[in-house]
Every structure is written in C-alpha cells, then in structure tokens.
Amino acid sequence: MLFNLHVKNLALIDETDVYFGDGLNILTGETGAGKSMIVGSINLALGQKFSKELLRKEDQDAFVELVFTLDHDAQRSALMQLGITAPDDQVVLTRRLSAGRSISKINGETANTAKLKEVAAILLDMHGQHEHQSLLYKKKHLEILDEYGRQTIQPIREQVADAYRACQRIQSELQKFCTDKEERQRELSFLEFEMNEIEQAALTPGEDAEVEADYRRLSNGKRILECTHTVHCLTGYDSEQSAGEAIGRAVQEMQSVREFDVKLEQLTSQLEEIDGILNDFNRELSAYEQSQDFGEELFYETEKRLNELNHIKSKYGGSIERVLELYEEKKKRYAALQDYEQTLKRLKQESEEALKRYWELAERLSKERTAYAKALSEEIRKNLIDLNFLQVQFEMKVSPKDTITGNGSDEAEFFISTNPGEPLRSLGAVASGGELSRIMLAIKTVLAGKDTVGTLVFDEIDTGISGRTAQMVAEKMAVIAKQHQVICITHLPQIAAMADVHFQIEKTVQHGGTETVLTRLSDEQMIGELTRMLGGAKLTDAVKNSAEEMKRLAEHYKKKMEKTTKL
C-alpha cells in the first residue's frame, strides 16, 4: 500500500506530508483547490513528464517521495526479478525536479523512467479519465482479457512470443540466403579470403594480452636494465655503501652481544631474517637481469606481431575471442553456400516447422482467450448491474487476424447493449463518458480479485454520474477497498461518505501567496465536509442532518458487507 506521499515546491503545494490508511482513502475539496495536483504528484514520482511551470519557486527544486509498504509475497518476488530489494518491506520512490533536469531514485539508487514504471506497475494501479477513454480502443480490450486470465494465458503468450521470434529469425535467415548464382560466387570468394586471412594469423586466445605485455617490457628495456642494475648495487654486497654489506656488518655486531640479553637475542634473529630476505631478493634480481633479452630483433618481431593482432582484431571484432567466433560463423556460411540447394531445402523445412509450431501455440492461446472472454464478460455484466446498468448485456468477442504477431493472432472487442431489445454494439460506438467510467470500474472490480497490486488510485471515476448511480458506484468502491487500498478523488458525497480515511483539500492564502493544504478529517469533520458537498451555497441544519444520515448509512453498509464477507 501507499503509506506516505511527501511533496515540496510543486504548483500550489509549498510542502505537505500525506499519510494514507488502509481501505478507502477519499480526497475532496472545492473546484480549483488542487485535488488533481495530488494525483499529479504521484504520477510525477512515477516518471510522468515534468514542466518547469510546475515549480512553485523557480530557484528551488521540487521534490516528490512515495513510500510503499509491501502487501504480498508476489510483489516481493516481482521486485526481486527487477533487482530491487525491500528492507523492512518498504520501497521508497523519489524524484527531484528542477528547471533543467530530474533525478529519480528507488530505495536511494538512481533509476531511469522505464525502471520506475516497471516498479510502479507492481505497486500501484493509476486510473484516470484518460484510462477509461482507452476502452474505446480494441487493443486495450485484449490487454484486459489477458490480465484477467493471466495465470493461464501468460505462460502460453510467452511460448507464442518465443515461437514468433523463431519464425522471424528463420525467415530472416532464409531471405538472406536466397541469392542468385553470381552473387553466391562473389560471397564465397570473399569468405574464402577472410577465412584465409584469419587462419594465417594463427590466433591463440589471450595471446594479445601477452604480446602487449612483452611489447611494453621491451619498449622500456633500457630503463629496466638501468633500474635493476642500480637496485642490485644498492642492495648487494659489492661495496661498503650497499645495503647488503651494511646489514651484514650489523648482523656481526649484534651476534657479538646477543648472549648477554634475551631481548638482544630476539633482535638479532630479526636482523638475521632481514639479511636473509635481502640476500634472496638480490639473487633473484640478478637472475632476472641475466634472463632478460632486450635485443632489437626480438623487439622488432614483437612489434610486428602486435600490429598484426591489432589489425585482425580491428577488422573482425575487437578481440581475439570474437575473431575466432566470427571465423566459425564464416566457415558455416561458406559450407552452407557451397551446398546451396541442400541448405535452402533445410531452411524452408525449418521455416515451415517453426510456422506450424507458432500456429499450434497461437490456436491454444486463442482457445484459452475465448474461454476466459466468456467468463470475463459474465463477471463484468454482473458488476455493471451493481452499477445501475439494470438491463445490460455485455459480451467480449475474440476473433482471428490475418497476420501473426508476438502476441498471437487474436483481436478482442467488448460489445454492449444497455437497453432491452437493442442489439449488441461495439463499446466505443455507444458508451458515453459516464458509462465508460462505470464500465472501467466494473472491470477494475473484476481484476482486483486477481492481481497483487496493493493500491488503486481513482481520479475522475465519478464523471457524468449522480443520484442512485453514484450510490451504487460508492458501494462498489467500498467492495474494492476491502481487498485493496483505494485512493479516490471525488466530488460526490455518496462516494465520500464511504471513506475509511477522508482528506480535505483547501486553497488558502499564507505568507502573501496561495497554497494547497491537506487535512486528515476527524469523524466530526467528515460530517462537516459532507455537509459542504451536499449543501451548496447555504448550509442548513437539514443539510447537516442529511450528511449525518448519509454517513451513518454508509457505515451500516460497510458493516453489513463485512459480515457477508465473513459468512
């Protein structure tokens, strides 16, 4: 669930902290008070495009932070697959916005917009007016169907996608292979030349690193010899000034007095050990000097080999390993072109088999979709009746397309009849804005029991409704809120009365400027806000009594619903 929203320096909001609760969280306020900015802030935190005009103070950054607590193991697992751990079962999304750029973070680590949206899809489902307008497009209908039957449909969809990619790969290979005799001969000649060039280079994995090291050593041969000779003299025993000679004398001095004190015995042993180490070092350094060959001929051969390796790498792939891989690919291509007819026959057969495999899986997917479409249609129809579509008929039709895609060969479309005797017609052709919002609510209700998203946000869900329909929408929202945290911006008192947690949004003048302020309402304040929403210009005792009655009935409905759920 969404535990906390923190917003700073954004539009009319100077700074605010909102702590949401379980169940149905309602936000209400006068028109223009800034209700949409709350949902806008959440969207900004989730990666929505930002305009510098939204900065309240242009010389300061805006900041939005969302703190989620995880509700399901499925959420934890999905986040782990994205490489996100959740200490204490919390996920914190932040976004800092300035006039020139924005920085987003997930649990303190910088993240791009694509990653934010992936995480958001696991934690939160945002529903605004633009989304119920998406019901006008058939593509959205298929997405809803696949989400409804996700547990069965998703694995088959993945197999279909794999089969589609296999078809595309083989078809691409077949198209590249189909060439005329003259072009094949040219390619064979060129492949033969390239293979010969790689073969003559006689490459060995890791050789380039060794040759580079040898070249670096040989290039600095003079300096190496001068340095090692100097160090050999300084640490040796050939002069009185050398370290070996000095330490040797020191050892003799210590040995002459070691027997007189136990501490001197220990110090003498340490010095003898130093003398031994230095002696070993000096011998090894001498052996190194004698083993080195810095001759011009060796340097020339090493430089020549290094140039040859660099030339081959730059021409065929950047590394010896990649050059050798490319060589094997060229050998296979060369053999295939030499045996052109047989290879062409094999590729055509593979293409036919891949296409056959695709259609088998696509047909399985289509059957599952058709079965789930029937069940989904019936569940949506029942929920539409609960939302005051009393004589509604609702159906989803799944039909085949002529083309193949990675998502199968189906298209799906919702059809509806809202009046008795009327034929089923395409949803987009008959539904009004208010009807679309209720249809989307019915769909969300059906899907709510099947997904693991903890939080649903509704904005503009009450578009074009009032009266009894508004009451039925409110009851449906209360039902969803028993399974999920729901955050809803509304102007309808029927919906607001169902609130488990109620926030009032007001526009005030402070410090010479206009600000949006959020207040979490007490039970008494909830009645006051409902009175305002019911009363219009004049708030009378009768209006207040109506508000109290509306709240009482809402609480009674929720308690009754709880008892029914337990039974």
Nearest to 430 by CA among 419, 446, 443: 419
Query: Comparing 243-247, 274-278, 451-455, 490-494, which segment has the lowest mean pLDDT?
Result: 451-455
pLDDT digits (tens, 9 = 90+) for 133-179: 677 778 889 988 998 998 899 999 999 999 999 988 888 877 777 77
Q: Taking residues 547-559, what's their average pLDDT? A: 90
Q: Taking residues 493-511, what's their average pLDDT? A: 87
Q: In the chain, how many H helices and how many E strands?
A: 20, 15
pLDDT at 124: 85
Q: Taking residues 535-560, what's their average pLDDT? A: 86
- The pTM for the full model equals 0.65
Domain map (residue ranges) of the chain: 2-128+433-566, 153-364
Whether residue 91 has pLDDT greater than 70:
yes
Q: Which residues contact 421 (CB under 8 A, 6 or more apart)?
A: none
pLDDT digits (tens, 9 = 90+) for 377-414: 999 999 898 888 888 899 999 998 878 899 999 999 99
Q: In the chain, what are the helix, strand and coil shares in percent, each to the nearest 5?
A: 60, 20, 20
Q: Taking residues 337-352, what's their average pLDDT? A: 78
Could you tell me the pLDDT band of residue 522, with boundaries at 50, 70 and 90? very high
Q: What's the 3-state SS for 347-392?
A: HHHHHHHHHHHHHHHHHHHHHHHHHHHHHHHHHHHHHHHHCCCCCC
The CATH classification of domain 2-128+433-566, taken from the options 3.40.50.1370, 3.40.109.10, 3.40.50.1820, 3.40.50.300 = 3.40.50.300
Provide the 10 A C-beta neighbour count for residue 424.
14
CA gap 461, 387 in Å, rounded: 12
Could you tell me the pLDDT band of residue 567, with boundaries at 50, 70 and 90? very low
Whether residue 251 has pLDDT greater than 80:
yes
CA gap 184, 188 in Å, rounded: 6
pLDDT digits (tens, 9 = 90+) for 196-238: 888 888 888 888 888 888 888 888 878 887 888 888 888 887 7
Residue 310, CB-side half-sphere exposure with 13 Å CA sphere: 9
H/E run at residue 417: strand 408-417
Q: Taking residues 105-129, what's their average pLDDT? A: 84
